[in-house]
Structure 1
């Protein structure tokens, strides 16, 4: 199949926020409850025929040892998905750092989507949706999704949204 658009999208965030789980839910419609850290980087391809688009999705490990190589993994990226865990405020607290790293390494107009993951864990939730919206209100890009890799909530929508943003930049 011929694709009019091909984009490299990096998925970043602290360790254990559910980056790999969101990607697997999107690409394979599966969920694995056991945590297995990503060592370095993995990538998968997802075709969006109705958008004439191919996404090459890079899953970047969140452990400190991989953060040192982040600039290598970001090379050639077209867009990003920054994920935090709504049950762990410390992961929300690092959003500014992730956004700054992306803007330093790439174009300041670089499109990204912020995702509050693990919304299925409502009893453990510590970061409220309104707080995330307030934080992003003053950011250049305020695209925010609440998602759950476990239930599939908003997973398809968030990946399609980054694809849509990238297509708009090409037109």
Structure 2
């Protein structure tokens, strides 16, 4: 499986087909901000401090023929910020749920985060569970098989990644975006509906005005150039997203 990633994501005057709202959630200290920084800046965030409230960033990428802008909300994991951060869950199209493979406690509290996200996010919320810090295998407290079973039981996608090395960091964001696009194509998600977590961009609106049907072309598979291969060495068996 392969996805195109736009090289011009930092351009100031950009056009895109869709804008998607994603939230990054999980316990404090799991490396959420570092994971997001690696995704948006392609580098590790040294001396990262705990997020206070919510921080915002974005990145534009390409899936098939579609240009997607991700609106990324990095939420604080501390309990004292919970009432503030939960308000940003509303209408999210995707949630990156992060735990630390070296912290049993961060894994044990996943259900609470998932419950809040599903209660407040869009009705079609896509959730990707990410076991961060896969580079610290010798300190592992949560086995891959255990996390995989939890993901299957809770109907979410799962993978492990390392915000330090960058291994598999792009995968959860790309998989979530692809799942949302396929839901739009299938008619299960309407970008014009309030609270969907998705809206049309200028490129898509121009295309809709010139065509009665929005074509997703190569999303279903076709040859693509300049692609980034996702490393899925430990992908959950039976996953529905690929």
TM-score, reference length from structure 1? 0.94
Counterpart residue number, 1:80:
95
> Any idea what SS the aligned residue of 1:24 has?
helix
Counterpart residue number, 2:112:
97
Aligned pairs for 1:51-130 (under 5 A) are 51-107=66-122, 109-130=124-145
Q: CA RMSD in A?
A: 1.3
Q: Which structure: greater helix fraction? A: 1
Counterpart residue number, 1:14:
27
CA drift at 1:30: 1.2
Counterpart residue number, 2:163:
149
Q: Give the conservation status (yes or no) of the 8 Å contact 2:22–2:72.
A: yes
Counterpart residue number, 2:151:
136
Q: Which structure 1 segments of 5+ residues have no match?
A: none
Counterpart residue number, 1:41:
54
CA distance, structure 2, for counterparts of residue 67 and residue 32 of structure 1: 24
CA distance, structure 2, for counterparts of residue 107 and residue 79 of structure 1: 8
CA drift at 1:122: 1.0
Name segments (4+ residues, structure 1) moved above 4 Å.
none
Aligned length in residues: 170
CA distance, structure 2, for counterparts of residue 85 and residue 9 of structure 1: 20
Q: Which structure 2 segments of 5+ residues have no match?
A: 1-13, 186-242
Q: Give the conservation status (yes or no) of the 8 Å contact 1:25–1:149.
A: yes
C-alpha deviations, 1:114-147, integer Å up to 9, x for none?
A: 0000011111111011110111221122x10100
